[in-house]
Amino acid sequence: MKFGLIIEIAKALMLARIKQTMVAAVGVTFSITMFIALLGFMNGLNDLLDGLILNRTPHIRFYNEIKPSEDQPINVFEELTGFYNIIRSVKPSGARVNIYNNEAIIQTLEKDDRISGIAPKITVQVFFNVGNVDIPGSLNGIQVVEENRLFAFSDYVVAGDFMNLQNTATSIILGKGAADRIMAEIGDYVQVTTAQGNRLLLKVVGYYQSGLGELDNIQSYVSLATAQKMIGESASYVTDIQVKLHDFTLAPAMAKEYSTIFDIQADDIQTVNAQFETGSDIRSMISYAVGITFLVVSGFGIYNILNMMIYEKMDTIAILKAIGFSGTDVQQIFTSIAISIGFVGGVLGLIFGYFACLGIEQIPFETEALPTIKTFPVNFNPKFYLIGGVFSLVTTYFAGFFPSRKASKIDPVEIIRGK
């Protein structure tokens, strides 16, 4: 049978039951709209939460771990060879905290095409001297330009210019929580004391707020040169080497590779943030599950509507088969109805879903914990629209397949005889 004729008959049957057809299409439209809006919002939220931690975390971090020496004197005592030697209260060895020969390590890493950037860092434990009170804190000495390029440092500086950290000698960008605790304004000088007993006056040039309150209460930033000056070390002194990769999935293997080569400790982002990454995956799974549930429910609605349409159109089906339409032709007619409903409802759902995401993106969302975020986050990934469009067609196809197969098996003689 000609395909054009099948389409014409399917169109006539849909228009004859226009209200039921519209109800089915609205069901698909609503399902796709909610699917797109839900996925866009949930993944936008995931991107926001990931950005709070993962964007500020190096893919690989090289450092020297302070740990007890594995070679204890008792292990070389010949009389105790072959015995279980238990040693209590073993103290850490006097190993250096800084990375030895870090310049050569950085040069080696820069030659690796898998690496997109390298940023050395120094961590200094200090006390902020406020009158007679000493408030503990932690200073990160950074290369300002590289830190901003690799970790979007400027996005978290909520007051002041982050470049002043490099351009102004002995300056500091205070964590917002730390600034509130010591009541320091931009332009003030704060006195800090290092664990080595060195004291230094630092000028406040900005506030830093990551959105993680515990970090903002103790963590502040100075330039790499200022950190080296504070602890009385040379310009080659570095405690951490932070590495960003083009493909962060390579981090575990590369961490092991370079840890062996350089004989230093290496942490990869997957190991350090495994629990956080699992939470993001679970949220994504929930959003996909809810969205697909919407589509399945709309599929059952189409299934019921086509079943009723077939029941009401028994005479029409009998006439079609009596004048030469085969069971396959009848099945194609009702399958075409289902796919047409899915296509029209799906297209409208994708359009309305996009506008729903635009609407969500305009809703104000202001919190002190996330000062750089002004509206609700939304992800407009085209993948969501492709998945929604495919599922609308697949769901409606199967919703129409079973009723159409039932219609194809109707015996016109039995129907006419019954009438």
DSSP-assigned letters across all residues of 319-353: HHHHTT--HHHHHHHHHHHHHHHHHHHHHHHHHHH
Q: Phi, psi at residue 274, to the nearest 5°?
A: -60, -45
Which of 167-181, 320-334, 405-419 has the weakest average pLDDT? 405-419
DSSP summary character for residue 45:
H
In 169-213, beta strands by DSSP E: 171-175, 189-194, 199-208
Question: Which domain-ending residue is among 206, 234, 267?
Answer: 267
Looking at the fold, whether 68 and 193 belong to one and the same domain comes out as: yes
Per the structure, how many domains does the chain have? Answer: 2
Indicate the SS3 state at residue 225: helix
* Cα–Cα distance for residue pair 219/173, rounded to 1 Å: 9
Whether residue 227 is contained in a domain is answered as yes
What are the beta bridge partners of residue 120?
241
**CA proximity to 295, closest of 335, 350, 218, 241:** 350
For residue 209 the two structure tokens come to: 């707020």
pLDDT at 275: 61
Question: Which domain-ending residue is among 245, 267, 289?
Answer: 267
Q: In one letter, which amino acid is 414?
A: E
Tens of pLDDT, residue by residue over 76-90, are 666 667 677 677 666
Whether residue 88 is contained in a domain is answered as no
Say which residues have a Cβ less than 8 Å from residue 159's Cβ, sequence separation at least 6: 186, 206, 207
Looking at the fold, whether 219 and 126 belong to one and the same domain comes out as: yes
Residues spanned by the domain of 175: 59-83+94-267
Question: Which domain-ending residue is among 248, 267, 286?
Answer: 267
**CA proximity to 269, closest of 253, 254, 248, 284:** 248
Which pLDDT band, with edges at 50, 70 and 90, does 254 fall under? Answer: very high
Looking at the fold, whether 20 and 166 belong to one and the same domain comes out as: no
Looking at the fold, whether 257 and 296 belong to one and the same domain comes out as: no
Does the pLDDT at position 358 exceed 90?
yes
pTM above 0.85, yes or no: no
What are the beta bridge partners of residue 126?
137, 194
Tens of pLDDT, residue by residue over 61-112, are 998 876 666 666 666 666 667 677 677 666 666 566 788 888 888 889 988 8
Sign for the CA dihedral angle at 109, 111, 115, 119 comes to positive
Q: In one letter, which amino acid is 351?
A: I
Whether residue 89 is contained in a domain is answered as no
Give me the mean pLDDT over the 49-58 stretch.
74
Does the pLDDT at position 348 exceed 90?
yes
Give me the mean pLDDT over the 362-379 stretch.
77
Looking at the fold, whether 195 and 146 belong to one and the same domain comes out as: yes
Looking at the fold, whether 257 and 317 belong to one and the same domain comes out as: no
For residue 167 the two structure tokens come to: 């351009």
Residue 403 in contact with residue 306, Cβ under 8 Å? yes
Residue 182 in contact with residue 188, Cβ under 8 Å? no
What are the beta bridge partners of residue 398?
none
Looking at the fold, whether 222 and 171 belong to one and the same domain comes out as: yes
* Cα–Cα distance for residue pair 59/243, rounded to 1 Å: 6
pLDDT at 413: 67
Looking at the fold, whether 39 and 110 belong to one and the same domain comes out as: no
